[in-house]
Amino acid sequence: EVQLVQSGGGLSQPGGSLKVSCAASGFAVTTNYMTWVRQAPGKALEWVSTLYPAGDTFYADSVKGRFSISEDKSTNTLELQMNSLRVEDTGFYFCARMVVLAVTPKVNWFDPWGQGTLVTVSS
Amino acid sequence: QSVLTQPPSASGTPGQRVVISCSGSRSNIGSYSVNWYQQLPGAAPKLLIFKTDQRPARVPDRFSASKSGTSASLAISGLQSDDEADYYCASWDDSLNGPWVFGGGTKLTVL
């Protein structure tokens, strides 16, 4: 079964760091397109970052220079390292596999999703 | 302010048909396919519709979707109480807003 199980997150003061992890089963993280999406309390989904199989990384402007997406091949895990955290980074963080049409990566969808991890940034 | 515009709420009674709209622009819906995600209360989002009108095998055919120009829509027929959830549209976007954009979400209430 294709599944994503998340861990990490928690509470940090502004300016601090946290890491969220996403363990995959049923497929290899390194050969797939992987994504992080977040959701502030009571708000809409917001794309955060995507990692291509070739190693290309993409970040939303709001997190660029502060967040880093990577993968651990030994544990088949996707990670998001979050530094210089701000209050507005608070929310649930979801990992997801991005399914891509072979013809163009611009036709894609997110499936499956992890269960979500809560990140709280507060003094 | 989300790049794709959805009504914040929708409602219907059991058995009814409900349609949720998603409005975008030429840089997203007007040029690329649309996906829809269902988020049940307290749960992670799940893929509901991909490539504008395709359903994963696990999704019942009560759910259908389409697009025209720069707008898309999700229709739910034979409304059931467990359809009560938040629904999000999403698309690729070629502008500075992109590349992955979501709608603001529509909260569906089954009366």
Task: Please report which confidence band the pLDDT of residue B98 belongs to, taking 50, 70 and 90 as the band edges.
Answer: confident
For residue range A66-77, list pLDDT tens digits in order.
999 999 999 999
Tell me how crowded residue B58 is: count the other CB atoms within 10 A of its CB: 8
> What average pLDDT does the structure give for chain A?
96
**Does pLDDT of B70 surpass 80?**
yes
Alpha-carbon distance of A46 to A88, in angstroms, equals 12
| Nearest residue in A to B100, CA atom | A47
pLDDT score recorded for residue B97: 77
- Contact status of B46 with chain A (Cβ, < 8 Å): yes
Which residues of A touch chain B, with CB atoms under 8 Å apart? 35, 37, 44-47, 50, 58, 94, 99, 101, 106-116
Of A122, A18, A9, A28, the C-alpha closest to A72 is A28
For residue range A35-88, list pLDDT tens digits in order.
999 999 999 999 999 999 989 999 999 999 999 999 999 999 999 999 999 999
> Encoding tokens for residue A20?
């969220």
Distance from CA of B90 to the nearest CA of A (A): 9
- The size of chain A, in residues, is 123
Interface touch B47/A44, C-beta < 8 Å: no
A51 vs B contacts (CB less than 8 Å):
none
- Do the Cβ atoms of A31 and A94 come closer than 8 Å? no
pLDDT score recorded for residue B108: 98
- Do the Cβ atoms of A122 and A13 come closer than 8 Å? yes
